[in-house]
């Protein structure tokens, strides 16, 4: 359940990062707040993606090549 929450939050943060990067590119006033928020959202997406992938690794059940 926790892994799905990390995946969902990572996807939402990635979508928000894409939205803010798009707004930064098409902003006529040159507002850099969109860029800063986009970078923060991208970092949050990477963190949640890492937590999701780290949760998929099962440290107790190791499968060896000899089995």
pLDDT tens per residue across span 16-30: 999 999 999 998 887
pTM here is 0.78
Question: Residues 60, 6, 33, CA angle at the centre, nearest 5°?
Answer: 145
Task: Answer yes or no: is 65 within a domain.
Answer: no
Q: Mean pLDDT for the chain?
A: 87
Asked whether residue 67 carries a pLDDT value surpassing 90, the answer given is no
Task: Answer yes or no: is 52 within a domain.
Answer: yes
Residue 13 vs residue 2, higher pLDDT: 13
Nearest to 17 by CA among 3, 32, 46, 37: 37
How many domains is the chain built from?
1
Please list the alpha-helical segments (H only) found in 1-67.
2-25, 33-56
Task: Answer yes or no: is 66 within a domain.
Answer: no
């Amino acid at each position: 359940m926790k892994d799905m929450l990390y995946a969902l939050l990572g996807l939402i943060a990635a979508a928000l990062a894409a939205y803010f990067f798009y707004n930064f590119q098409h902003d006529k006033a040159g507002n850099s707040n969109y860029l800063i928020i986009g970078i923060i959202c991208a970092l949050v997406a990477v963190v949640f993606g890492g937590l999701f992938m780290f949760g998929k690794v099962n440290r107790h059940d190791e499968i060896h090549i000899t089995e």
